[in-house]
Amino acid sequence: MSLIKQLWLAIVLVMAMAFAASTVTSVLSARQYLQQQLQVKNIDNATALALSLSQLPKDPVLVELQVAAQFDAGHYRFIRIVSPKGETLVERVFEGKIEGAPEWFTKLIPIQVQPGQALIQDNWKQYGTLTLASQEQYVYKSLWDGTLALLLWFVVGGMVTGIAGSFLLRLITRPLNHVVGQAEAIAERRFILIPEPHTPELKALARGMNAMVGRVKTMFNEEAARLDTLRKKVNRDPVTGLSSREYFLSHLREVLTGDQFGASGSLVIVRLRDLNELNAMLGRQGADALLKEIGTELYDSGNGRVGQRAGRVKGAEFAIVCPSHATATEAAQDIYTRLTDKLLPKWQDRVPDLFHIGAVRYVRDQNLGSLLSSVDEALARAANKGSNTYEALDDAHAKPAIAAETWRTLLSDAVSGGRLALSFYPVVGADGKSSLHRECVIRLKMDDVGTLMTAGDFMPMAAQLNLTAPLDLGVVKMAIDYLHSNSGDVAVNLSAQTIADFHFRNELAKLLKTQPQVCKRLWFEVPEYGVFRQFDAFGDLTRSLKALGCHVGIEYFGQRFAESDKLAELALDYIKVHPSYVRGIADNPGNQEFLMGLCRVAHAIGISVVALGVEHQEDLPLLARLGFDGATGPGIQ
């Protein structure tokens, strides 16, 4: 029972006890006073009536008329005249019911008043004895009205006291509510700080709770910083800061085989002069400075372009995967412009023949070896052109680009016309047998035949046209329909652009509130880059979904690990680690150490860890030893 309810209960009990005591005291005192007044009235009225009758002739009719007149005008219970011999000469008795008070009240508080008596004389002889008793109903009415008035005042006083007490109690317990909220947040794996209240007892408690949360955050931040340092050491080139060869090639394989990005993109290679020649011309420090500056420019080329990544694949050779450029020529020109504008003027005097650039177009599921052979051909053609040149090989047979308005019509019709479809992929436990959930991925039916387009092919254009919200809402509705007719849980991918849409979040909440029976079977996940780009919006979305009983997680986790300390406040259920860390894990001890630490930190705050992009079933025992709770990918059936 809440403190407010307890306060009201205490007020009701106290007021009831006070009312009972006041009523008993008041009623008994008033009854004593009224009984005395009634006793005096009986005596006075009996004396006055006896005196009046003594002066009248003792004609029986006249005496009876006088008694009747007094009885009718004086509100008596009875008037009786008895002769000296005991005979009743005249008698009038009230035969009605007492009004003005309930019967139970009159029985509970009896009025005991002695009747008034007086002698009636007939000259010098005694005519008779007059006895009368006044009516008590007015006494009862007075007592009852006083009791009701007292009850009313107590009720009004109790209500005023209760309201004032509730308001004061809310003010007093507001700091306690903060402490309770912090404790509940910790139970939900959210580590938040609260202001210290002024109340000494609560201040000590809040300070202790804040200290514990601070220690947890510090531990998490320190471990996250250590793991981020390890990640950079394992997966980054120490000179340029770009991705190492193994990590870049793992990312390139994910781009070629996954459906996170479009069906086609560009691969650009920047080749400098032989590293030994650069060391001879510039010295080791000069060569390292050149490599570092080139690495900085290539890294910056990916700012604002999702999926674009640069890596150092050989001593003096760099590669950039560009999923978002429309053509290989456009990708090559972008890199060429950056190098010629910012690097060539500074280094051309010492290294006239600084670089050659080759770019080719790739398509989904293309063989990596054939792609690298094609880019080598483009580099050879660039070298034949002379110093500091580029060559781009675009596919002459590529499909023509679809106009923006055509995309808008196609995507709008897809939502309203039922041209969306879902593909399901299993996510299994670390044992490879138990099922965690099925991940549903959106597909677009391009024609009546049923040709499906993957999300990476049309979602970038949907984001550009602000159509991701209706598409994601349509996916959620399809997932709910699927759950009504199938067992198990389903994970829904939400676009990075959608989570910032306040209207979408409201519509999603309204939809889920009508489906409480499936909320616990729905898992929602957002790409990592979208989470940190719209962190406040993601926090709001997480809190609303968790309140409805849904699971919330992050997919493709690990690219922005340095910012992961923010996650301690979100109460996430799971993360799905980026495939770049998982591919080839058996042959990468550095990534094994990093992933083991990542799982340990995640488990410390109650977050499950799932591996993405698992290519071989044989990797599952190793992933389980590293601490993974589940896995999915092409090797999982």
- Whether the per-residue pLDDT at 610 is higher than 90: the answer is yes
Task: Name 454's bridge partners.
Answer: 443
Which domains occur in the chain, in start order?
31-158 (3.30.110.200), 241-393 (3.30.70.270), 404-631 (3.20.20.450)
Token pair of 633, please? 């990918």
pLDDT in tens, 211-233: 877 777 777 777 777 888 888 88
- Predicted pLDDT of residue 303: 86
541 touches 499 (CB < 8 A)? yes
Task: Give dist(CA 262, CA 255) in Å, integer.
Answer: 8
- Predicted pLDDT of residue 526: 92
31 touches 109 (CB < 8 A)? yes
Query: What value does the mean pLDDT take over residues 132-141?
Result: 81
Query: What value does the mean pLDDT take over residues 524-535?
Result: 89
Q: Where does residue 401 rank: exposed (0-12), middle (13-18), buried (19+ CB within 10 A)?
A: exposed
Strand order in the sheet with 389-393: 309-314, 317-322, 264-272, 355-363, 389-393
Task: Give dist(CA 190, CA 195) in Å, integer.
Answer: 16
Secondary-structure breakdown of the chain: helix, strand, coil percentages, each rounded to the nearest 5: 55, 20, 25
What is the DSSP code string of 209-238? Answer: HHHHHHHHHHHHHHHHHHHHHHHHHHHB-T
- Predicted pLDDT of residue 45: 85
**191 falls in which pLDDT band (50, 70, 90)?**
low
- Predicted pLDDT of residue 400: 56
pLDDT in tens, 363-372: 888 888 888 8
**203 falls in which pLDDT band (50, 70, 90)?**
confident
pLDDT in tens, 476-489: 999 999 999 999 99
Token pair of 204, please? 């000590």
pLDDT in tens, 235-252: 888 899 899 998 898 888
- Whether the per-residue pLDDT at 423 is higher than 80: the answer is yes
**401 falls in which pLDDT band (50, 70, 90)?**
low
Tell me, yes or no, if the pTM score tops 0.75.
no
- Predicted pLDDT of residue 626: 93
Backbone phi and psi for residue 390, each to the nearest 5 degrees, phi listed first: -140, 160
- Predicted pLDDT of residue 562: 67
For the ranges 209-223, 298-312, 568-582, which has the lowest average pLDDT?
209-223
- Whether the per-residue pLDDT at 551 is higher than 90: the answer is yes
Average pLDDT, the chain: 84
pLDDT in tens, 445-476: 877 666 788 887 788 778 878 888 899 999 99
- Whether the per-residue pLDDT at 598 is higher than 50: the answer is yes
Query: What value does the mean pLDDT take over residues 261-266?
Result: 83
Query: What value does the mean pLDDT take over residues 390-403?
Result: 68
Task: Give dist(CA 17, CA 10) in Å, integer.
Answer: 11
560 touches 309 (CB < 8 A)? no
Token pair of 546, please? 């968790």
Task: Give dist(CA 581, CA 622) in Å, integer.
Answer: 13
- Predicted pLDDT of residue 396: 45
Query: What value does the mean pLDDT take over residues 157-178?
Result: 74
- Predicted pLDDT of residue 608: 92
